[in-house]
Each structure stands twice: as structure tokens, then as C-alpha cells.
Chain A
Amino acid sequence: MATPTPVRKARAALLGLLILLLGMGGLLAYGVADGRAQWAPLLALDLEGGTQMVLAPQVEAGEQIDSEQLQQAVEIIRQRVDGSGVAEAEITTQGAENVVVSLPGVPDQRTRELIQASADMEFRPVLQTGVDIDYVENVLLAEDNEELTDEEAEAIEAEVDDAREEQDEEAARPEDFPEPEGEPQHNSDLNWITPELAADFENYSCSRDASVEERSSAEADEPMITCDPNSGATYLLGPVDVPGTLISDASFGSDQDRPGWVVHLSFDSEGTERFREASTRLYGFPQGDPRNQFAIVLDGHVISAPGMINPILDGNAQISGDFTEEDARNLAEQLRYGSLPISFSIESEQQISATLGQDQLRMGLLAGIIGLLLTAGYAIFQYRALALAVTIPSLIVVGVITWWAISLLGWTDGYRLSLAGIAGLILSIGLTADSFVVYFERIKDELREGRSLPGAVEAGWSRARRTILASKAVNVLAAVVLYLVAVGNVRGFAFTLGLTALIDVILVFLFTHPLMQVLARRKFFASGKRFSGLSADELGVDVLYRGAGRFARSHVVHSGAVEGETAAESVTGDSDNPARAARQDEVPDIPEDEWAQMTIAERRRAREERSRASGAMADQAQEEAR
């Protein structure tokens, strides 16, 4: 009975929503079946119990840290915490300069120190090198190590086999090694190697994990034993030649002469002095001699050990090798971090017991359910059947999409729902419901202007859409700004607020409006039955609207023809209606259902055109006017 286009559009939109729902649900189901996701959202510590620490970097006055340096610091903390055996730790940066560490349970004193202590960078001369075969075999060649290509793995395996042949299996003892010949004269002097040290080096096993004590036990003026956990190479190093704090800057770029990437490194004046002295000494050793190498040590591990191909006199060095762009960037960032080691102070720490977490989760959910019920109740009170048919299904769909979106984000991004996040979700119930209020009130306004329900839905939508988009934009803007600057709790709140605002917009477009388009064709709503939320009584219509901004009580109102120009009779088609008969006389070329969707202004125009078409008719119209 009505024009088919809006209905077809509505069906397409509803189908789109169905595809979206199936897509999200299917993806999540796939993740769950695969064991990588779970249906319920991941919970933050304040709902699950655990410890959350917010750390602030401690730097000397006047020093500024940038985001890359902070990122390096986070990376180092992450390695340390992983190494300490704490499972499921989450370390992230928040705001401009905060680091948030979340751990299940209560961390012990050691873990706390691990998190707070700064990581030092040092340049030490290499005295002796070796390979930890067991480490290489067990860790690097382990089958689940995805970082290695097959070729690389094969090369390493060959090396391991060679090394095995040379090595005897017994632990080395200090007695097997000679005493040094005298006091060491410089940092590269082999006289640093005592029999104990030599035995230790022989027995040393490399490990990615190291405690803070291990990392900081090496004194700057003592030799140390360490390794490069990425290659399994072990190093016996002399005392510190240049501390990392003397680095003034580091960058990376492509090499002009050769293909590949290089890292540029420059020192401040003291660093230049010390690096000149050290590099000259190292250059004195032949190429290929371990003692020609400089080891760059970060947080107790060697990150790179370049050989010295010429003495560096002006403090500007270039490190080249078989670097990929990423290798080079990484090394440059580590060097930059080394120039300004960051230690952290704990700004706030929260230990939430599991009991309190459960309490908070239960209460949060309870508040949400009460809020939903109250909102739904009020919507029914205000909009009757319209609320039952539109608002409540919409709230359910919005709830399902939000739930799945949060679960999916938990899977892909490790997003965890916090108590503040739940507060954001509950607040958004009101904001979502408001989209309906804006939309329904517009539809009512259009009905009051004399449109039929299908017409009012289209016209109301085109206006409401604009308002809804414009106002939701403010919400999203606020949520994004809040999320970007905020620290701690606030983020979860801002995140859910922004997420639900977006979901709300999707829902209004793909569900609420299409559903209204379909319902507008139902007799119950279109004819304004009692409790439909659109009856004349519920609209309070007893006046006629006359063109933009001008109103008047119609003279026919009192005679009970209230609905003559409103939705009811124009749609249900009361053929006894004299107005209708007169209308058909007057403008016979417009079908009834189209007429029903026109506003009074449009009808007026149609009549006008018609009357202009024939002069006689025009006269008549003027006659009527007076």
C-alpha cells in the first residue's frame, strides 16, 4: 500500500545489521573455538583482583624524555617482569609520560625493584667471546621460535655442531686456568681475567631472564660476564670505557656507500674524549681479534658488539652491519634510551583483593541492570508500544554489539573492562536512549505537521539524523580527548563512552530507523491506535499546523475532524470524508497514499500548481480564499 522504496531500503539496512552481528558473533565464536578468545570480556584488575601500579619517570631537572625513550623503558620493564616469572603482566604507557603495570596477585619486593630501577647502558671492551650452545639449542632453535627463518636456523645449527665438537662436557674449574701475569694496565688488558673469572665464563649459561641483582652486580670498574640473548653469544668484558649517559644522540639512516642501514651515534665532549681513547686502543688489536670489539651493554645484556675498523676521534661513530631498517631503528632507540636512563617512582598503587573485585563486578552489573530496567520502563511510559517495539529491541541489540565488541577487543588488543568502564557503559544507556527521544520527538513533530506516519518517519529521520550525528560527534570528541590525555581509571571510562557512542550511531542507522520504516506500515501504528504511542491522544494533537512557524487552531477542529489532516484518516482511507472527496476533485492526479505522505505545505503547492494549470480553477481558488 505504501511506496516500496523505503521498505526496501529498510530491509537492506536490517540485512546489513544482521551481517554485522553474524560477522562479530562468528568471529568471536571462531576465536573461542580456537582457544584464543573468550565470550565474556576480559576483566581489569579492579574487577578481578590484582595489583596496578602507575609509574612516573624520574629524570633530572631540565631533562625531557620523549615517547620513544619511554617506549624503550616499557620494553625493558616488560622483559624484566617476564623474566621474573610473573605471568600475565601488562605494561602499557598512558598519557604523555606514565607507565601502568598491572599484575595479578601481590608483587614481592624484588618485582617492585625490578620495575622501578633504571636500566644502564655501558660501552665495554670485549676480552673474550664464546657461545652458549645449550641456550642456542634450547631457546633459539626451539620449534615455536617464529623469529628465525629456516635458513638462519640451519646456519645456527651448523655452528652449534662445530662448537660441540670442541667442547668438553665437564664444568670448568678455576684450577684449569693460569693466573694473570700482573695488574691490568688498561680496560682491554687480559690481566683482568682471573682463574675464577675464566672458569665462570666457561660455565656461564646465557638467559633472557635476569634478576635485578644480576643485572646490576657488575661494577663499572670490574670486568663482567654476559651474553647477547638474541644470538646466544657470550662475552667476557672489561671495565666500562664509556657510560651510556655520555651519548648525546643516536639516529639511523641508509648508508650512502653500501646498501643497508646504519646507526649514527654521537657523544658529548666527555664521551668524545673517552671514546677516542678507547677506540684507539681497540683499533690497535687486529681485525677478527675479540679484543677489537666494543660491546654495547644495556640492562646487563649485550645488544651489539661491533668491531672497530678505525679510531673515532671526533665522537661521531657509525655502526653498520647487516642491519634491516628495523634493526637499525631499534638499536638507535636503545642508544638514545641509554643516554638518559629512566628510573620510576610509584605514583599510585592499588591492590584489589579478589573478593572486592567480585563485589565490584557484581554491583556494577546490578547497577547496569537496574539502569536498563528503569530506562526501559520510562520509555514504555512515554512511548507505549513504540518503546516495546523499537526502544527495547534496540537496547538489546546495542547491548549485544557492545558486549561482543568488548570481547573482541579483549582478544585482539587485550582490552580489559574496568569498573570505570562499566560506569561508562551504564551512562551510555542514557545517551543511547536519547537518540530515540530525539528521533521519536521529531516523528511526533512531523505528525503534528500533518504527515502520515510513513511520511513523518522519513521527514523526521532526515532532521533527526542530522541532530543525532552532530551531537554524537561532541560525545565522541570528548571521549577521544579524554582517552588520549587520561591516566589510570579514566581511560576505561572514556573508552567505553566513545565505543558506545559509535555503536549507537551504527544502531540508529541500521536498526532503529529501518525498524521504524517497517513499523510505519503496520496498521497498529499507522492508524494511531490507542497505546501505539502515536495515537491522537498521545500526540496531543488538537491543532493544525500551518506552514513553517505559523500555527492556528483549525476551525474544523471543534467539529471532531481532528484527524482529517493527521495520519489516521488519510491512511486508513475513510471514504465518507468530505475533505478527501473535495481533495480528489481538486488534485485528481496525485494518488491517495502519496498525498498522505505530503505535508500541508507540499499539498498547498500541489493545489497551487493544479489551480495555475487552469484559469478557471485559479479563479475558484481565489474565490475560496475570500
Chain B
Amino acid sequence: MAYFYFIWKFHRSFLIFSALVISAFQFLILKLVTTIDYSAITSYLLEQLPENVQAMFGQDFISMLTVEGAAAFGLNHPLVLVILSIGAITIPSRHIAGEAETGTLELVLSFPVARTKLLLNLWITVLSFLFFIILFAVFSSLVSIYIFHQLTAGLFVKMITIGCNLWLLFVFVMSLSLLLSSFGKEGNKVGIRVAGITLVFYLLHYLSSLWDTISFTKPFNFFAYYQPEDIMTGNRSFSLHFVVLFSLILICLLVSLFQFNRRDIPG
């Protein structure tokens, strides 16, 4: 609990900011759908565009104009992904590789704290932070739907499922950051590397939906296992996403623990 509080004190401003921005964004985007009926106009306009251009943003854009679509779109918006990525990447890289660089990790590990326990504490702490931020976002979406639309049991369950999927995706990103941190000696370098990997995978995911030639990469891309629109429409089952992301998380965590236990701690 002391470690949880310690990490919280370090990052509380960012975490509160993240929770508020994402929640407000969700609330507003769902309110917006109710105020103006764009769907007919936009559908007509999109139909006039070339097929490739339609594919670039058409589906997302049209689906966003329904309540379900807007809710799914909001939780898959780059703003949300970027904010969650910052937290998921920087906290582990700062407290493992970054502290190895500044020498505070040496001090902490001179206390009677097992390396496994320290790493697990950090993992659970960041996992909890991500959980609460996403919980806020989902809650805010549900409140907005309840106020401005009609909240059905089915929609409620789907929103919770999307929230869980989003959480698993970022627990994986965080575990990846933890994995590279357990090898690294410089927090910034590790942070930049994980951010780079995440960005490349995101772009690849985006491009693979446009170009058939690279569509074979989809099953190997972790972003393919977070498809809120598909969960909302019932096209894909969450259980596959769960199994893949959970396995990736577990692999990252186990390798991190193994490496962190055997590595030298620089001063």
C-alpha cells in the first residue's frame, strides 16, 4: 500500500487530468450525437467520395453517428489512446529504468524488498490506475447515454466489455514498457522505444485496414485485439481478444520478472 501511495503521489496530477479529459470527452461526444442529426447528410456526402477515401474514414465516421457507434468511437479515439499510452508507458519506464539511471532503484533495493515484489507492486499499481481512468470514462459514457439517450441492458454490457478490452490493451502496453524497462538503464530511452513500438503498431493497424497487401499483419498486431465497433455490432467476440491480450500480458510480465531478478542494478 505504501508503494501504491508513493506512485500515486508522483503521478496524481497526470492521472487525475487523464481521467477528467477522457471522461469529459466521452460525455461530450455522446451528447453531441443527440443534438444534431448528421447521419443522412454525411452518408450522402461520403457516397460522393472515391472508394479509397471512403474507406479511410467512412465506416468510423458513419458508425459514430449512432449512440453505439459514438460510444465505441469515443473509446477508440486517438486522444484517448494517446493519453492512456502516456500513463501506461511512462510510469513503468520511469520507476524501473529511470530509477536505475538516477540511482534511487539502488537505494530502494538496498531496503528489504524483494525484486519480484517491487516489480509486481508497480505492475499492480499502474494496472489499477489504468482501471480507474477507464472506469471513469465508461461511467461517464453510461451517464451521458442515460441522460441523453436510452440506456439498455445490452448497451450497458457492451460498454463494460469495451472498457475491459481497452483496459487489457493498455495493461499490455504497460507490461511491454515494464519488460523493456527490466532490461534498460535509461528511462527516457525505454519510454521512447515503447512509444515508438506502440505508434508503429497503431499505424500498421490503421494501414492494414486500407491496403490488402499488408492485411496479413492483422493477427500479429495487438491493436487488432481491440475493436470496440465490432464488439458493439456483435461482429467479434471479446473472448478471443481476452485470450490473446491476456497471454501477451502474461508473457511480458513473466519475462520482466525473470530479467529483473537476474539483472545488475546500476548505481
A pairs with B: no
B positions within 8 Å CB-CB of A: none
A positions within 8 Å CB-CB of B: none
